[in-house]
Amino acid sequence: MMGSQRNGFKKERFILSVDVGTTSVRCHVYDKETQIRGSCTREVKPLYPEVGHVEMDPRELWNEFVTVVKGAVQDAGVYMHQIKALGISTQRGTFTTWDKKTGVPFHNFITWQDQRAADLVKSWNRSCTMNAIRGVAKVLYFLSRQKRLLAASLIVFSTQHVSFRLVWALTHYKQVLQAVAEDNCCFGTIDTWLLFKLTKGHVHATDYSNASSTGIFDSYQMCWSGVLCSLLSLPLSIFPRVENTGHDFGSTDPSIFGISIPIMSVMADQQAAMFGECCFDVGDVKITMGTGTFMDINTGSKPHTSIAGLYPVVGWKIGPDVVYLAEGNSADTGTAIKWAQSLELFTDVQETSAMAYSVSDADGVCFVPSFSGLQRVLHSWASNLPPPKAIWCVPYWSQSPSEISSCMRRC
Confidence tier at 379 by pLDDT (50, 70, 90): very low
Whether the pTM exceeds 0.95: the reply is no
Residue range 32-84, pLDDT digits in tens: 999 999 999 999 989 999 999 999 999 999 999 999 999 999 999 999 999 99
Instruction: Answer yes or no: is pLDDT of 370 > 70.
Output: no
User: How far is it, in rounded angstroms, from Cα 154 to Cα 385?
Assistant: 12
CB 214 within 8 A of CB 196: no
- pLDDT tens string 134-156: 898 889 888 888 877 877 787 78
Inter-residue contact 216 to 228 (CB < 8 Å): yes
Residue 373 gets which letter from DSSP?
B
Within 8 A by CB and 6+ apart from 87, the residues are 15, 16, 17, 18, 263, 264, 265, 266, 267
Among the ranges given (2-11, 81-90, 140-149, 318-327), the one the predictor scored with the smallest mean pLDDT: 2-11
Q: What is the mean pLDDT of residues 159-166?
A: 92
* Whether 278 contacts 323, CB under 8 Å: no
Confidence of residue 203 (pLDDT cuts 50, 70, 90): very high
State residue 1's pLDDT score. 47
Is the pLDDT at 214 greater than 60? The verdict is yes
- Residue 363 pLDDT level (bands cut at 50, 70, 90): confident
Q: Domain boundaries in the chain?
A: 13-117+159-282, 334-384+398-410
Which H helix or E strand runs over 26?
A: strand 24-30
Residue 139 in 3-state DSSP?
Answer: helix
Range with lowest mean pLDDT among 186-190, 344-348, 404-408: 404-408
308: DSSP letter: S
Residue 15 β-bridge partners: 30, 85
Which is nearest to 211 in space by CA: 185, 247, 243, 248? 243
Segment 224-266, tens digit of pLDDT: 999 999 999 999 999 999 999 999 999 999 999 999 999 999 9
pLDDT score of 223: 95
Evaluate if residue 217 carries a pLDDT over 90.
yes
Tell me how far apart the alpha carbons of residues 340 and 334 are, in angstroms, rounded to a whole number. Answer: 10
CATH 3.30.420.40 describes domain 13-117+159-282: yes
Q: Which pLDDT value is given to residue 385?
A: 40
Q: At what angle do helices 174-181 and 162-172 cross, to 10 degrees?
A: 90
